[in-house]
Amino acid sequence: MNMFSVFWDYRTYFATGIQYTLLLAAIGVICGFVLGIIISLMRMSRFWLPKMIGSVWVEVLRGTPMVVQLFIIHYGLVAFGVKFTPIESGAITLSINSSAYLAEVFRAGIQGVDRGQSEAARSLGMTRSMTMRYIVLPQAVKSVLPAIGNEFITIIKESSIVSFIGVTDLMYQSGAIQGITYDYLSPLLVIAAIYFIMTFTLSKLLGAFERRLNTDDQR
Amino acid sequence: MISVKDLRKSFGKLEILKGIDIDIAKGEVVVVIGPSGSGKSTFLRCLNLLETPSGGQITFEGEPITDKRHNINATREKMGMVFQHFNLFPHKSVLQNLMLAPVKVKKQPPAEAERIALDLLRTVGLSDKKDAYPSQLSGGQKQRIAIARALAMQPHVMLFDEPTSALDPEMVGEVLEVMKKLAEGGMTMVIVTHEMGFAREVGDRIVFMDGGQIVEQGTPAEVFGNPQNSRTKDFLSKVL
């Protein structure tokens, strides 16, 4: 089949594509995760300012297309003298976008932890932040692991938009190969298969991770 | 040791505590009884400020803990609390449950915290469960671990919020046994409970609450043997 010969002939193209897709997805996942926790904590803050910043952050980033965010960051900010490389723009967009979704996931998880847990921790003299760090967050993250996995998979797929600004990810490479071979379908089928292998592997890994956490404590 | 003056607590328009005055001496075992909704648990939870009082003062070991500038975390280290629903940390082993606060809050060296924890597990008769997780324990065992966890901070007073109410009947005895040992060891205790037999046997003082107020208090013999107030009589006739 042509798909296989295209894959083999242009394997170095695909390898580069895989590299950039994984790099951007990994940055998006890690930064989105950390930023997401911070934003969710801000949203649940007792003080109005962080609460408002958190809410605006989530609503704006969820309520506008990611491509638009990407273009604003990459092309729009130049007007203010802020210039990013395509990879930087892609990483920033994926990170802040996933942080907004993950912030909502974490909020649900944190609010789902039994109140008695923080009461017990506070009764032992732990401060608010210790309680959050040692008692609430570990349980919250565990309970929303499936939802986090979903978001990770989404980021891998959505990272394909960075091809619009010239990052040589999988999507971009398939376009390049189309231009060389005039074969429109085969490169797309190849990258579809590669995306699928990435997301499927990730979802299996997360499933195994979940099971390992559950051996500790079934409630 | 604990001095409560005109303690009030409202949730919205609903007034739960309508002015509580009580002094609790070192080593005293005070048992709070009363019908549900009388404010017993709220009163107890105000003592370590898990509920913020709407009015009044609480002094603990000479410090006004209801004062805005007071660091409540430092006070809570000295006030252990045991909850109706245990509230063990499900993601931590029994030993970790006992060691977490001493190590993180009191900055105890882990080796010392572990020694104290193992000692306490022996006291509550659960040494063999040190590596178990809460989900692997029975209700009675969970509550004994919860007591040990509170004791690991070496508190000066222990607050018990209906510690046996969520237990199957056959497990109540083992928990009360641990509490009795604690009382005999001279621990200051404030206990909210429906276990009247236990209250009579272990309590130095019985406090009867109804409608957000202390209606009557005295020795077990006085309150159980010869109640003065009609509401106390009424309540006791229903539960005894």
CB A24 within 8 Å of CB A94: yes
- The pLDDT assigned to A2 comes to 82
Question: pLDDT tens digits for B162-174?
Answer: 999 999 999 999 9
Cα–Cα separations (whole angstroms), residue B203 to B32, B179, B182 = 9, 11, 12
A82 interfaces chain B, CB cutoff of 8 Å: no
Number of neighbouring beta carbons within 10 Å of residue A56: 11
Q: Which residues contact A86 (CB under 8 A, 6 or more apart)?
A: A74, A162, A165, A166, A167
Q: In chain A, pLDDT over 90 holds for what percent of residues?
A: 83
CB A191 within 8 Å of CB A170: yes
Question: Rounded CA gap, B77 and B108, in Å?
Answer: 13
Average confidence (pLDDT) over B125-151: 95
Question: Rounded CA gap, B77 and B154, in Å?
Answer: 8
Strand partners, B208: B33, B216
- The pLDDT assigned to B68 comes to 87
Cβ within 8 Å, pair B50-A114: no
Q: Which residues contact A133 (CB under 8 A, 6 or more apart)?
A: none
Query: Count of CB contacts below 8 A, A vs B?
Result: 69
3-state secondary structure B33-83: ECCCCCCHHHHHHHHCCCCCCCEEEEEECCEECCCCCCCHHHHHHCEEEEC
Average confidence (pLDDT) over B198-213: 94
Average confidence (pLDDT) over A187-209: 93
Phi, psi of A152 (to 5 degrees): -60, -45
Average confidence (pLDDT) over B164-186: 94
Question: Rounded CA gap, B194 and B197, in Å?
Answer: 9
- The pLDDT assigned to A217 comes to 54
CA B160 from chain centre, in angstroms, equals 2
Query: Residue B240's pLDDT band (boundaries 50, 70, 90)?
Result: confident
Phi, psi of A28 (to 5 degrees): -60, -40
Contacts of B133 in chain A (CB under 8 A): 216-217
Strand partners, B33: B208
Q: What rounded mean pLDDT belongs to chain A?
A: 92
- The pLDDT assigned to A219 comes to 46
- The pLDDT assigned to B182 comes to 94
Total-model pTM:
0.84
Question: pLDDT tens digits for A95-116?
Answer: 999 999 999 999 999 999 999 9
- The pLDDT assigned to B74 comes to 92
Average confidence (pLDDT) over B79-105: 96
Task: Give just the sign of the alpha carbon dihedral A89, A90, A96, A100.
Answer: positive
- The pLDDT assigned to A216 comes to 57
Written as one string, the DSSP assignment of A145-176 is HHHHHHHHHHHHHHGGGGGGGT--SHHHHHHH
E strand or H helix that includes residue B22: strand B14-24
pLDDT at residue A1 greater than cutoff 70: no
Out of B50, B100, B104, whose CB is closest to A123? Answer: B50
Question: pLDDT tens digits for A112-152?
Answer: 999 999 999 999 999 999 999 999 999 998 899 889 989 99
Out of A122, A139, A217, whose CB is closest to B50? Answer: A122
SS3 B102: helix
pLDDT at residue A94 greater than cutoff 50: yes
ipTM of the complex, rounded to two decimals: 0.92
B114 interfaces chain A, CB cutoff of 8 Å: no
Cβ within 8 Å, pair B135-A219: yes
Average confidence (pLDDT) over A156-185: 93
Cβ within 8 Å, pair B76-A120: no
Query: Residue type at A153?
Result: I
Cβ within 8 Å, pair B135-A217: yes
Task: Give percent helix, percent strand, percent coil of chain B, each to the nearest 5.
Answer: 40, 25, 35
Q: In chain A, pLDDT over 70 holds for what percent of residues?
A: 97
Written as one string, the DSSP assignment of A67-97 is HHHHHIIIIIGGGGT----HHHHHHHHHHHH
